[in-house]
């Protein structure tokens, strides 16, 4: 009996800037397979995250909830395994579900955590265990970035051991601080492994049972370490200039000004980790072009582009497998990233609570042959919190009571008919530092709770976010309107759960 439901393939990267696809405007980068998806599907130019940090964003993707509801408000916080995910719901509807690559729903540094050392290096456990995990029946996981000690853990680490690879030759201890060319042979790189595991899953499908597969790459996240020939693919001097402007921080909030003056230690903010290590909080802002030097910053960007091109190559292999199996016409393919990277713009790198679009906005492509327009670009707003309800509607299911996103299925079919008027980003960067961002058609507001300053941008007139209108008297009414809209939005989002059953 032939499968009558639509298959779902979600491909994600980790920390990919929105402007890193050649077909969508960046002529300096080589991305033939993402270009292929864009040509065969629709590109959402205004896709936003619910949170610009890995664990909260990924938790929102699978639950359809904002961090303030699902509870995983930063990395180092665990998503409750009992929370309903689109994987659970799709399984109930008969879908085979699989997750291959990075998960990061649990702390990765806390001893005793399922996704942290020493458990991730228990080779015998990972040889035998393949799920279920957060609604995914079959999983093949890894975590870590570049040569971090955690990068050779979980299923990937067990596989490396089977190949006779000594992890000490290429990974840790420590790790995560090297940059440039990585001597790890590309055939043993985790990007290839993630694609291989996804392809293995696809090979096992029978065109009778529908499937949902998540191919989850963990690059181009720092450290900027990339195997050859990919690391040498780009000349640092031939890449786009960083987006920055002399004196641009002068009308920005205190956080921006202190950063540009290198006085972070004087701020009334709790910083609990090594400033040199990426933990997802304020300390991620420790790298600026001024501090690391422009020559080194350009090399970072070249490696970053190389990592993306390596991923793109393996995305092509996954797409080719769909074609080979005759599944491409009956599979919705979604490509996006869990959040962006400042990528040198505004003098910044990595991610943090300064909410430029560089980290809030992500690439988003959807291909569903003969259902979604080919070669189309749209400015209709979409949030990653919308993925779960979209997948459920695609499967003929209602979204659950807890889901706060909206299905984008109609907009995917009719890209100029938007399904939402706003996008919301929550970022509790530290317990006492909370940023909320509201993006609407033209304006964007960054509101720092319990602080007097903020940001307001006209994205039509000032898409690079150089001019802060927050304290401009001419925009007082717009600022008030945006602040009141945030209050109204939370009134909508805080729908009582469970619903009321009785009046007494």
pLDDT tens, position by position, 441-469 = 999 999 999 888 899 999 999 999 999 99
pLDDT over 70 (residue 370): yes
What mean pLDDT do residues 281-306 have?
80
pLDDT over 60 (residue 268): no
pLDDT score at 259: 66
pLDDT over 90 (residue 172): no
Report the distance separating Cα 484 and Cα 494, nearest Å: 16
pLDDT over 60 (residue 276): no
Closest CA to 58 of 121, 93, 101, 3: 101
pLDDT score at 261: 61
pLDDT over 50 (residue 271): no
Closest CA to 36 of 309, 319, 324, 413: 319
User: Whole-model pTM?
Assistant: 0.94
pLDDT score at 139: 98
Each residue's pLDDT tens digit, 328-348: 999 999 999 999 999 999 989
What mean pLDDT do residues 142-146 have?
94
pLDDT score at 269: 42
Each residue's pLDDT tens digit, 385-419: 999 999 999 999 999 999 999 999 999 999 999 99
pLDDT score at 266: 45
331 vs 6, 9, 454, 466, CA distance in Å? 6, 7, 43, 41
What mean pLDDT do residues 129-136 have?
97
Report the distance separating Cα 155 and Cα 120, nearest Å: 8
pLDDT score at 278: 40
pLDDT over 50 (residue 270): no
- Structure tokens belonging to residue 204: 């096992």
Report the distance separating Cα 291 and Cα 258, nearest Å: 14
Each residue's pLDDT tens digit, 205-247: 998 999 999 999 999 999 999 999 999 999 999 999 999 998 8
pLDDT score at 279: 39
């Amino acid at each position: 009996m032939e499968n009558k439901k639509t298959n779902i393939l979600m491909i994600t990267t980790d920390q990919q800037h929105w402007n890193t696809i050649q077909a969508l405007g960046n002529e300096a980068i080589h991305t033939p397979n993402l270009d292929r998806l864009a040509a065969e599907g629709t590109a959402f130019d205004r896709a936003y995250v619910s949170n610009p940090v890995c664990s909260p964003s990924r938790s929102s993707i699978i639950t359809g909830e904002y961090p303030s509801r699902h509870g995983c408000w930063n990395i180092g916080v665990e998503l409750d395994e009992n929370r309903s995910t689109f994987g659970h719901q799709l399984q109930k509807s008969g879908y085979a579900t699989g997750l291959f690559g990075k998960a990061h729903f649990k702390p990765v540094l806390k001893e005793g955590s399922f996704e942290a050392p020493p458990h991730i290096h228990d080779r015998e456990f990972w040889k035998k265990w393949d799920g279920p995990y957060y609604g995914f029946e079959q999983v093949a996981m890894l975590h870590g970035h570049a040569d971090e000690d955690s990068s050779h853990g979980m299923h990937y680490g067990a596989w490396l051991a089977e190949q006779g690879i000594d992890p000490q030759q290429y990974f840790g201890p420590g790790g995560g601080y090297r940059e440039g060319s990585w001597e790890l042979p590309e055939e043993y790189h985790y990007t290839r492994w993630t694609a291989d595991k996804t392809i293995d899953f696809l090979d096992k499908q029978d065109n009778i049972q529908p499937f949902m597969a998540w191919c989850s790459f963990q690059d181009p996240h720092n450290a900027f370490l990339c195997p050859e020939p990919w690391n040498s693919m780009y000349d640092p001097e031939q890449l786009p200039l960083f987006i920055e402007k002399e004196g641009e921080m002068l009308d920005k909030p205190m956080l921006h000004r202190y950063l540009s003056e290198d006085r972070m230690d004087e701020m009334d903010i709790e910083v609990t980790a090594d400033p040199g290590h990426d933990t997802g909080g304020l300390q991620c802002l420790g790298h600026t072009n001024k501090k690391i030097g422009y020559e080194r910053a350009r090399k970072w960007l070249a490696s970053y582009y190389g990592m993306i091109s390596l991923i793109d190559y393996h995305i092509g292999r996954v797409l080719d497998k769909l074609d080979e199996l005759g599944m491409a016409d009956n599979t919705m393919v979604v490509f996006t990233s869990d959040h962006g990277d400042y990528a040198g713009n505004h003098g910044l790198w990595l991610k943090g609570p300064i909410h430029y679009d560089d980290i809030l906005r992500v690439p988003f492509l959807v291909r569903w042959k003969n259902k979604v327009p080919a070669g189309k670009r749209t400015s209709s707003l979409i949030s990653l919190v919308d993925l779960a309800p979209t997948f459920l509607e695609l499967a003929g299911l209602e979204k659950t009571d807890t889901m706060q996103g909206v299905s984008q299925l109609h907009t995917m079919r009719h890209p100029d008919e938007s399904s939402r008027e706003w996008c919301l980003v929550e970022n509790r960067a530290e317990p006492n530092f909370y940023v909320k961002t509201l993006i609407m058609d033209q304006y964007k507001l960054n509101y720092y709770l319990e602080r007097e300053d903020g940001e307001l941008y006209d994205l039509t007139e000032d898409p690079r976010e150089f001019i802060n209108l927050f304290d401009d008297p001419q925009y007082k009414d717009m600022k008030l309107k945006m602040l009141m809209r945030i209050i109204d939005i939370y009134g909508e989002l805080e729908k009582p759960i469970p619903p009321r059953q009785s009046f007494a």
